[in-house]
Amino acid sequence: MAVNQLLRVPMFMSRTDLFCRFGGLMGTKKFASSIVNDGSAKDLRTKIVDDVLVVTLDLQNAKVNSLNVSMTSEIKSILQELETNSAITSAVVISGKPGCFIAGADISMLEKCRTLEEASNISKEGQDFFHQMENSRKPIVAAINGVCLGGGFELAMACHYRIATTSRTTKLGTPEVLLGLLPGAGGTVRLSELSNVTTALDLCLTGKRVSPNRAKKIGLVDLLVNTLGPGLAPNEENTMQYLEKIAIQVAKDIASEKLKVNRGSKSLMDKVLKASMGVDFIRNNIFKTAQKQVLRLSNGLYPAPLKIIDVIRTGIEKGTSAGYEAESKAFGELVMTPESKGLISLFRGQTECRKNRFGHPKSEVKTVGVLGAGLMGAGIAQVSVNNGYQVFIKDTSIKGLARGVEQIQKGLDAQVKRKRISVVECNQIISKLKPTLDYKKFQNADIVIEAVFEDLKVKHAVISELESIVPPHCIIATNTSAIPIKNIAEVSSRPENLIGMHYFSPVDKMQLLEIITHPKTSKETTAKAVAVGLKQGKVVITVNDGPGFYTTRILSTILYEGIRLMQEGVEPTELDNLTKRFGFPVGAATLFDEVGIDVGAHIAFDLAKAFGQRFSGGNLNLLQDLVLAGFLGRKSGKGIFVYDGTQGKGSRPVNIDFLTVVKEKYSLVSKGANTTEDLTIRMVSRFVNEAVLCLEEGILDNPLEGDIGAVFGLGFPPFSGGPFRWVDHYTASKLVEKMKSYADLYGIAFKPAQTLVDMAKDSSKKFYPN
């Protein structure tokens, strides 16, 4: 076995993939009453089948199971009953929730922690709880159907045997890293013991969810069962009944020693890897490789991945006791970090933005029309048809229509390849897509989303054409990134049915949808648009109308300042480094090229016209010159950088012609504030200040949606929690002081919002009180 095969540590930490359901661990408290015989517990049900205790987890008033104080206490009480009741020889733990074993933990307990010791004690209590399960004299079988994450997965690992259904909803994983944490109930140690060190690193560092088949292959599941037993109809109830039946039989067989649980190394690779852990050189290189990849992908801005590596290494080198101790200590430290608090805040916000705060619409949208089969239109059609809508997609030419359909088909084929859907399901989905060149196909549409060229005259023509065809109840949604919706609605005969739906490219991958209401948009229209976005799988923020709305407006400020910095002599590569070191996934100069310099120029002139000198910064004529020269960014092969396909994984070469234009026509002498920190904060402060102004002006309804929009739509550093959470941590007083010093040099663009000034005077004022 070549050493480099042992060192193939997977990709560990992606800054653009930080969000999935939290899994962690809740603490326990004593719960004295016996609950086995009467089944009266609040969060679980019990029964005895033959001599097997069946514990059904069913958290009250909740769609999913999570480990909270009461549930863990009840399970702990049951463990005591299991040990002392001679009529019981084994136990099965199963869920009463469709598609969910245990989704994770109630994170509110972590949010209440005020000291490192409090947080570490939660971990220690959890470890003790699962040690009690693991050391039970009577076998406990985990019967898993649906998501089994974080603390739920740690509970399953503490059981003596794990059975999982092959349902697509069944996923196992330790996603704590996505909230700036690590598995705190023994997960870092048990993962290594049940599988191997590279699997433990992979799962803990990425937070990925693995399929039941994969979990079985890597030793985390002992037995797979089909979602249906012989002769049973395909439904969730039958699946659970069949799973319970199999689990009971397995528990009986283990108790009677008819079934021996043997988890020796299952493959040659496992055996070699286990043996290699005793070789200092190989072991050191595995962990060094992991650390190197983490630092490369995270720029060292996320403390959790590095802690995970240290904790797993401690368990491997010094034994399980030392591993558990290191885990609880690191868990406590991470809970108290601003990075974890920021990521938990985002998780809360993401959850809220998956709800419809405008209530349930009076009627359901069933048929979606999409006007325009370009990159954006095809993406909108894809997420619509993929989530159950019948979709009519229209373009002006057969060629354009075919290109759009091909894009959608490729997206679905990729899902088949990744085994997210079957070939049959793929065909069923694509059958709901109806390409057309005729407006008449929209005559029964409930909503039409137009994704045509970003030009007011074109938008007006489209609105008039659509309203002559679509039924009176039909919503017309305009996908625009900057044109005020009220301006588009000027030609509408039904302005109450018109709304903005700003998608982000690529639509099938970007989670955010920014919905924009204008003064005449009805509440029913808004409720329906939000419902459509949620069904499309989006995280939805709803903002009021204004130039650039929210996301485009705040992004423009950082780009304007970036232009000025390049005029002052900051190299494009260094500009990228400044923003990436702060935590943005894409550098400011590269972002210009990705957006398209022509698009950026169009938006920049419109916003500068709307906001005047406050949007001053770099010379916008520079952008116009680049457009005239054909330097449009990535799409034209040249922009600020060169995209000729010859570069490897290293940085792209800077466009020499761009540098020449800057130096010959637009060069500026810096007025000061040009340290690395100041160059960064000059860009970031304008971004954050504009977000606060949007809140002041009523564009935003609340800071939470502002943070979600900035992170999920624009890549503001997730670990910060978003611009508003960042202000709370950085402090308004420090930010205002910086901005005033910049304003002395560069003028009104750096005038701090009054809200920030007020907060700077009173340190008790924060956007988030906790």
Amino acid at 151: G
Beta-carbon count within 10 A of 303 CB = 19
Which residue, of 336, 358, 393, is where some domain finishes? 336
Same-domain pairing of 21 and 119: yes
Same-domain pairing of 270 and 372: no
In-domain check, residue 316: yes
For 31, the token pair is 């719960």
Sign of the C-alpha dihedral computed for residues 15, 680, 572 and 628 taken in this order: positive
In-domain check, residue 356: no
Alpha-helix residue ranges (DSSP H) falling in 516-619: 523-535, 551-567, 572-582, 588-595, 597-611
In-domain check, residue 671: yes
Which residues lie below 8 Å from residue 520, measured CB to CB, with a gap of 6+? 486, 489, 495, 496, 498
**Contact criterion met (CB below 8 Å) for 374 and 726:** no
Residues of 552-562 as b/e, b for ≥16 C-beta within 10 angstroms?
A: bbbbbbbbbbb
In-domain check, residue 92: yes
CATH of the domain at 169: 3.90.226.10
**Contact criterion met (CB below 8 Å) for 706 and 694:** yes
Residues of the chain with pLDDT under 70: 1-41, 228-234, 264-279, 281, 646-650
Which residue, of 320, 336, 352, is where some domain finishes? 336
Phi, psi of 282, deg, nearest 5: -70, -45
Distance CA 252, CA 258 (A): 8
Total domains in the chain come to 3
Residue-level pLDDT at 646: 65
Which DSSP symbol is given to 474? -
**Contact criterion met (CB below 8 Å) for 107 and 766:** no
E strands within 145-276?
A: 147-149, 161-165, 171-173, 209-210, 223-225
Same-domain pairing of 140 and 7: yes
Query: How far from 433 is each of 101, 229, 244, CA to CA, in Å?
Result: 35, 34, 40
In-domain check, residue 496: yes
Distance CA 479, CA 560 (A): 24
Same-domain pairing of 489 and 467: yes
Same-domain pairing of 393 and 294: no
For 153, the token pair is 């997965």
CATH of the domain at 671: 1.10.1040.50
Same-domain pairing of 319 and 429: no
**Contact criterion met (CB below 8 Å) for 697 and 611:** no
Phi, psi of 9, deg, nearest 5: -75, 135
Which residue segment(s) compose the domain that 697 sits in?
A: 551-595+606-622+660-761
φ/ψ region of 138 (left if φ > 0, alpha if ψ in -120 to 50, else beta) reads: beta
Same-domain pairing of 305 and 431: no
Same-domain pairing of 332 and 464: no
Our answer to whether residue 677 is catalytic in this structure is: no
CA 410 vs. chain centroid, Å, equals 23
Same-domain pairing of 459 and 581: no
Distance CA 406, CA 402 (A): 6
Same-domain pairing of 441 and 567: no
**Contact criterion met (CB below 8 Å) for 210 and 173:** yes
CATH of the domain at 534: 3.40.50.720
φ/ψ region of 231 (left if φ > 0, alpha if ψ in -120 to 50, else beta) reads: left
Beta-carbon count within 10 A of 229 CB = 14
In-domain check, residue 360: no
In-domain check, residue 351: no
| End-to-end CA, the chain | 53
Q: Which of 514, 561, 690, 705 is catalytic?
A: 514
Beta-carbon count within 10 A of 700 CB = 25
- 500: part of which helix (H) or strand (E)? strand 498-503
Nearest to residue 481, comparing CAs of 371, 626, 376, 623? 376
In DSSP terms, 736 is beta-bridged to: none
Same-domain pairing of 470 and 587: no
DSSP string, 436-450: ES-GGGGGG-SEEEE
Amino acid at 171: K
Same-domain pairing of 383 and 473: yes
In-domain check, residue 635: no
**Contact criterion met (CB below 8 Å) for 727 and 719:** no
Which residue, of 282, 315, 336, is where some domain finishes? 336
For 614, the token pair is 């406050």
As separate numbers, helices (DSSP H) first and strands (DSSP E) second, the chain gives 31, 18
For 544, the token pair is 């009021």
Q: pTM to 2 decimals?
A: 0.87
